[in-house]
Chains A and B, each alone.
Chain A
Amino acid sequence: MRIRSSVFACFCLILEVLGIALFLRGFFPVPIKSSFSSKSKLSDVPPEPFTGRSLNSSKVPDALFKRVVIVLIDALREDFVFGPNGRKYMPYIRHLVERGSTHSFVAKARPPTVTMPRIKALTTGSIPGFIDVVMNLNSPALLEDNLIWQAKAAGKRMVFYGDDTWVKLFPKHFMEYDGTTSFFVSDYTEVDNNVTRHLDSTLKRDDWDILILHYLGLDHIGHISGPHSSLIQPKLMEMDDILKKIHGSLILKEAEGALPYLLVLCGDHGMSETGSHGGSSEHEVNTPLVLISPAFKKKVGMEKPSTVEQVDLTPTLALGLGLPISQNSVGRLIQPVVDEASLRDQLRFLHLNGHQLSYLLKDSMPAYEKEEGYEQFRVAEKSHGNWVKLVVEGNTSEVLTNMGKKVFKQYLEALRAMSEALSKQLGKYDIYSMVVGMVLVFQSPSHGGVSGGWSLSELDILLLAGTAGHTLSLSASSFVEEEHQVWYFLLNTLCLVVFQDVCRKYFRERRANFGSLEDDDYILPSNEGDVVASPLADLGVTDAGSEKWLALATPPLTLACCRLLRSLNQTGVQWAHLPDLGHWLNSFEHKMVLSLFAALSLALIYFLVQRRCSWVSKIALALGLLGVYSYRAAVGNVVFPWQHGGGNMSKGTVEARFVYVFVLGILFTGSKDLLRSQVITADARLKSRGLWEIYSGVVLLVALLFRAHNLPVLCCCLLVQTLMAQFIWKKLHYDAAQTTIMHYWFGQAFFYFQGNSNSIATVDISVGFVGLESYVEAPAFFLTALSTYAGPLLWAAHLVCYLSSEKRSSVAVGHGCYCLALLRSVPAAAYVVLVTALRYHLFIWSVFSPKLLYESMHTLLTVAICLFFTTMEQSRRP
């Protein structure tokens, strides 16, 4: 018995998904950790090196600071403080940086520049693996050795206000805390007020040692309107005032003789030119780090801040507070901080840091002894021992100071080398599971093999060459970053070639052979059983002349649509900062225009979708689309004509749920029709209607999830689908394979038209909260995935509907499913191999891994679609 090709394709695709899952498991490395799961203890601290009889103190040097206040401002970009606008944005801090007793640095964050991995990096000093991004939304408690744990173990009393990620990461660590949730991105005032409201009372009290504040407002503003928004300045001035208040109260509290305070201002990550983050551009990676303490020397003028790693803050704080450095920290002491201590103490600090790093090195590298930094550390330790011996003996000559300085330099060198070696270690892969995954992945496309034998037209050549070319282009990081360009380019070419085909049909071959024309006439009346309504009657067009012109106008219209959509959302990396229509529409002044656009799009969506539905669904659809508009109005994106002024913003939960009801209703009617057509009567008309109803349900849901400025994308998508289906695919007799490839290309292009890119930063997680009061994982994930992949999904859904409304639909559907599976599995398989080959590429984490996640998600989605395809095909067989 022969298995049908579509079933087979589905099977292969499922196998491929398994393979990719296995590959992913091997590819994303578990971050380096010490072999002991314990935490550093005070008693483990090594003694000060001493040559000769051992008797030396093994105590940790005293803490340098009594109280530490850490103010973490989410998405604080380096140039907000140090840049030319810094004086305007944060006058007080800028004054301190220039004239006060401060140290300022540019702290480089490692990608992924997302909040949770950054918090982990800041507290553990390790560099969290990429996979942490995926876990970002669901942060379990941090079990690794970290600064907060150490501080608690040492009896420090900590207070925390801000992003509740901290509270989840460090449950029961804080003496007092108040977490604010970071998910309602549209709110940038309340989140910060919730932090600041505790400040006055806390600053008055004396019962805490460490105060951590995490402000989210700036990040939210960035997400809403970008780094050049007019909202940025007031927000930064607010932050500046808060810092001024804290600094003032710290100065007041300072007692004579006691240890000084330390005020730390830092950012977890920066903000790209579009206001998002997650990638590795300069603006996302560079954050300011300002340390303020009377223990430092007063500055005399603005110096160019030097660059440190973000993780360097961890050992610095640990040593400054007299705590052991957490085990997995790869950071090194920020040396200027301890400048004012005695040389002996400085050496001791460096020794402690080096000791911890060398232990981590021993654990994570088998050949640690050959490591340059390790040897340097050994040498430095030895000369340190000699130096201490001389000091203890009471030697105070000039030579001794020079020798101490030499040891000091040796230590710094060793620390740098070890820290670098450890950071490099991060890219370790589990090659075994990667290989097994790859073998599985390759099972699927290798079973393919197109049944050749047709003569290739220009269109076929383009389709094949385009698919192959796109697959090859994935090997260059720029092409991955700018993949949308490739798709737009291919799609344009496709439209031009189709245009050429249409021209040929209507200008040349019409005169040439009348046979085909008669063939056309023969087909049209015969298909009334399959096609719901004659395409021409739908649009009120009756004569063949206007049909010809409409067919001729379709490709140029599609091209124009694509050009328009292309400038709606600038995406990618290189040109993402260019102004686009989306930003223009979203700015406050153009709210009316946006409302008008949204209303028009919704009306057009209704007009395009309703034609094929039953009247019940039509009403449901109309009400649902009205609900979408009122949801957008409630959220504050658009305005009703009668509504003037700012109005009251809400989460729009009621409106969104109202729409959900209709979505479910339409989907239910659709699936009821489908089931009836399959189980009771084999009625093709009923089945087709069921399919279209499901399709319109999906459209309604997507309309709800899309941001207001993206509604034209949906509208153009439907328009192009309708026109192409009626005037191009049917009229020009494209076969199932060609149609499938075209659908796939369109789907890919629309994925990017929506504003997606191959960077994690562009995933719009706020979609996960539409109609929900609080964060619930499963629906949030589902909604986010649906809205991200709306383009490919809608085109694939249209493909099912289109193919099953054709003559000989079961063959066509089977063929389409097979092609779709092949189209998805070949690039995915090729990409897996590419990633393996490029695993030591400079951009593997920032460019290739996010793309890998996108690819695997897309493959998973395609599996679902193909399964749906197969059931559709199955049912036709008696």
Chain B
Amino acid sequence: MWDQEIRQMASSHAIMASGVFMATVVPAVLVPGFSVYGTHLLWLYSVAGAVSVVNITLFWLLGVSSPTKKHTITYKVSRLVRSCLYLLLSCLFFHTVVILYGAPLLETALETFSLAVLLTSLTTLRCVCVLGPNVQAWIRVFSRHGAMSVWDTSLQMVVGCSVVGAWLGAFPIPLDWDRPWQVWPVSCSLGAVIGYLTGLVAAPAWIHWHRKHLTYKIK
């Protein structure tokens, strides 16, 4: 039914995944001494940056986000400002949640905030791209049976996978193996990125598999 859209989604997801891949490989070539564990924050920001750039470009080109009714400059600017505000708030929100989960309050604040930035770029940014800075729409998509399009379903899955990935990534921390990836926040950010990639693969596959049974309410 949505073959066209699924193909579109699969290819865009492939581009996003390769973006993550490039963000890992390119600095490894360019920056001397770069490694995912050793210079973790650098890797983290490179991935976050790459994901943001790829996401914004792709969704801008695809035009998935709900068409704006007004075309005035002020409206667009206010949308942009609101988006940035939401992203900042989401960073703070993730930071708070991670601290509630037991991250030290002050000592590793930079690492914790970097993780929050990564999570924001993996989840909130996509929400902003797909749904626009519209909290009502976000609440709709993330409540039960709230998806209204293929993109909504994929959004649910990618966001869910990223968050669950980061969540699962916290489990190895208490183990006393003394591995480099157990250092805070390596395992969580790795988990988030792996979860994100899984989501990117799983979303089109799942939608393709269930395309016969998928029905969406019209807005």
| A interface with B by C-beta (< 8 Å) | 473, 476-479, 481-482, 485-486, 488-489, 492-493, 496, 503-504, 507-509, 559-560, 562-563, 566-567, 572, 574
Structural contact, A485 and B174, CB atoms closer than 8 A: yes
Contacts of B175 in A (CB 8 A): 476, 478-479
Asked whether, in the complex, the Cβ of A566 is within 8 Å of the Cβ of B102, the reply is yes
CA distance A488 to B103 in the complex (A): 12
B167 lies within 8 A of A508 (CB):
no
Cα A508 to Cα B139 in complex, Å, equals 8
Contact A496 B97 (CB under 8 A): yes
Instruction: Check A560 against B100 for contact (C-beta < 8 Å).
Output: yes
The listed residue (B100, B105, B144) touching A492 by CB distance below 8 A is: B100
CB distance from A598 to the nearest CB of B (A): 24
B101-A508 in contact (CB<8A): no
Within B151-179, which residues are at the interface with A (CB < 8 Å)? Answer: 167, 170-171, 173-177
Evaluate contact between B100 and A559: CB separation under 8 angstroms.
yes
B166 to chain A, nearest CB (A): 12
- C-alpha spacing A504/B143, complex, angstroms: 7
Report if A488-B174 is in contact (Cβ < 8 Å); known contacts: A503-B139, A504-B143, A508-B143: no
Tell me whether A562 and B100 are in contact (CB under 8 A). yes
Q: Chain B contacts of A504 at CB under 8 A?
A: 143-144
Closest Cβ of chain A: how far from B99's Cβ, in Å?
7
List residues of chain A with CB within 8 A of the CB of B100: 492, 559-560, 562-563
User: Which single member of A479, A481, A485, A508 contacts B140 (CB below 8 Å)?
Assistant: A508
The docked-state distance in angstroms from the alpha carbon of A489 to that of B175 is: 14
Max chain A Cβ within 10 angstroms of own Cβ: one of B100, B167, B170, B171: B100
Nearest residue (CB) in A for B172 is: A478
20 more CB-based (< 8 A) A-B contacts, given A562-B100, A563-B99, A574-B174 = A473-B171, A476-B175, A478-B174, A478-B177, A481-B176, A482-B174, A485-B102, A485-B173, A489-B102, A492-B102, A493-B167, A496-B97, A504-B144, A507-B139, A508-B139, A508-B140, A508-B143, A509-B143, A560-B100, A572-B174
Given contacts A485-B174, A574-B174, A574-B176, contact A492 B140 (CB under 8 A): no
Contacts of A496 in B (CB 8 A): 97
List which B128-148 residues lie within 8 A (CB) of chain A: 139-140, 143-144, 146
CB neighbours (8 Å) of A574 from chain B are: 174, 176
* 12 pairs, CB–CB < 8 Å, chain A vs chain B: A477-B176, A478-B174, A478-B175, A481-B176, A489-B102, A492-B100, A492-B101, A493-B167, A503-B139, A507-B139, A508-B143, A509-B143
In the bound complex, what is the Cα–Cα distance between A559 and B177 (angstroms)? Answer: 29
* A interface secondary structure, majority: helix
Q: Which residue of A lies closest to B176 (CB)?
A: A478
Cα distance A560–B101 in the bound complex, in angstroms? 10
Closest Cβ–Cβ distance, residue A483 to chain B (whole Å):
9
Q: Which of A486, A489, A560, A562 has the most CB of B within 10 A?
A: A489
Residues of B within 8 A of A562 (CB): 100
Chain A residues in 8 Å Cβ range of B177:
478
A574 vs B184: C-alpha distance in the bound complex, in angstroms?
14
Closest to B103 in A: A563
Q: How far is the CA of A691 from the CA of B167 in the complex (A)?
A: 39
In the assembled complex, the CB of A64 is this many whole angstroms from the nearest CB of chain B, namely 44
Q: B residues near A, CB below 8 A?
A: 97, 99-102, 105, 139-140, 143-144, 146, 167, 170-171, 173-177
Q: Which interface residue of B102, B140, B144, B174 has the most chain A CB atoms within 10 A?
A: B174
CA distance A759 to B144 in the complex (A): 44
Q: Roughly how many angstroms separate A852 CA and B149 CA in the complex, as a whole number?
A: 52
- Cβ-closest 9 pairs across A and B: A482-B174, A478-B175, A508-B143, A478-B176, A559-B100, A485-B174, A563-B100, A492-B101, A504-B143
CA distance A778 to B97 in the complex (A): 45
Q: B177 — nearest CB in chain A belongs to which residue?
A: A478
- Please name the residue on chain B nearest to A558 by beta carbon: B100
Q: How far is the CA of A110 from the CA of B137 in the complex (A)?
A: 62
Across-interface contacts of A493 in B (CB, < 8 A): 167
Q: Which residues of A contact B167 (CB under 8 A)?
A: 493
Interface pair A563/B102, CB less than 8 Å apart: yes
What residues on B are CB-neighbors of A477 within 8 Å?
176
Q: B170 contacts which chain A residues (CB < 8 A)?
A: 489
The CA of A485 and the CA of B103, in the complex, are separated in Å by 11
Determine the chain A residues whose CB is within 8 A of the CB of B171 once the complex forms. Answer: 473, 489
A478 and B172 alpha carbons, distance in the complex (Å)? 10
Closest Cβ of chain B to A303, distance in Å, is 31
Q: Which residue of B lies closest to A496 (CB)?
A: B97
Residue of A nearest to B167 (CB): A493
In angstroms, Cα B171 to Cα A493, docked, is 13
CA distance A509 to B140 in the complex (A): 10
Q: Smallest Cβ distance from B147 to chain A, in angstroms?
A: 14
Which residue of the partner chain B has the closest CB to A495?
A: B100
Complex: how many Å from CA A410 to CA B102? 56
Closest to B146 in A: A508
Give complex CA distance A507, B142 in Å. Answer: 12
Q: Once bound together, how far apart are the Cα atoms of A416 and B3, in whole Å?
A: 75
User: Chain A residues near B105 (CB, 8 Å)?
Assistant: 567
- Chain B minimum-CB-distance residue to A512: B143
Contacts of B143 in A (CB 8 A): 504, 508-509
Give the most central of A482, A503, A508, A574: most B CB within 10 Å: A508
| Cβ of B89 to closest chain A Cβ, rounded Å | 15
Nearest-CB residue, chain B, relative to A492: B101
Closest to A486 in B: B174
* Max count, chain A CB within 10 A of own CB: residue among B97, B105, B143, B167: B143
Q: Which residues of B contact A559 (CB under 8 A)?
A: 100
Q: With A488-B102, A563-B100 in contact, is A479–B139 under 8 Å at CB?
A: no
CB-defined contacts of B146 to chain A, threshold 8 Å: 508
Complex Cα gap A143–B51 (Å): 73
A493 to B97, CA, bound (A): 10
> B136's closest neighbor in chain A, by CB?
A507
Q: Give the residues in chain B near A567, CB-CB below 8 Å.
A: 105
A562→B97 CA distance, assembly (Å): 12
A25 to B22, CA, bound (A): 60
- Closest partner residue, chain B, to A578 (CB atom): B104
Residues of A with C-beta under 8 A to B139: 503, 507-508
Min CB distance A851 to B, Å, is: 15
A503 to B143, CA, bound (A): 9
- In angstroms, Cα B136 to Cα A507, docked, is 9
Q: Which residue of A lies closest to B140 (CB)?
A: A508
Residues of B within 8 A of A478 (CB): 174-177
Q: Choose among B101, B102, B174 the residue that contacts A479 (Cβ–Cβ < 8 A).
A: B174
Closest to B105 in A: A567
Residues of B contacting A489 with CB < 8 Å? 101-102, 170-171
Distance in Å from the Cβ of B167 to the closest Cβ of chain A? 7
Tell me the minimal C-beta distance from B115 to chain A in angstroms. 15
> What CA separation (Å) do A489 and B170 show in the bound complex?
9
CB distance from B216 to the nearest CB of A (A): 17
Cβ of B43 to closest chain A Cβ, rounded Å: 25
What's the Cα separation between A784 and B35 when bound, in Å?
A: 51
The residue on B at minimum CB distance from A488 is B102
Minimal beta-carbon separation of B172 from chain A (angstroms): 9
> A386 vs B46: C-alpha distance in the bound complex, in angstroms?
77
CB distance from A720 to the nearest CB of B (A): 14
Q: What separation, in Å, do the CA atoms of A492 and B99 have in the docked complex?
A: 11
Q: Which residue on B lies nearest to A574, using beta carbons? A: B176
Of A476, A486, A560, chain B has the most CB atoms within 10 Å of the CB of A476
Which residues of A have CB within 8 Å of B144? 504
Q: Which of B102, B105, B140, B170 has most chain A Cβ within 10 Å?
A: B102
Cβ contacts under 8 Å, B140 to chain A: 508
- In the bound complex, residues from chain A placing their C-beta under 8 Å from that of B176 are 477-478, 481, 574
B171 CB to nearest chain A CB (Å)? 8
Residues of B within 8 A of A509 (CB): 143
**Which residues of the other chain, B, contact A507 by a CB distance below 8 angstroms?**
139
- With a cutoff of 8 Å between Cβ atoms, the chain A residues found around residue B101 in the complex are 488-489, 492
What residue in chain B is nearest A559 (Cβ atoms)?
B100
A486, B168: Cα distance in complex, Å: 12
* B97 neighbours in A (Cβ, 8 Å): 496
Looking at the assembled complex, report how far the CB atom of B160 sits from the nearest CB atom of chain A, in whole angstroms: 10
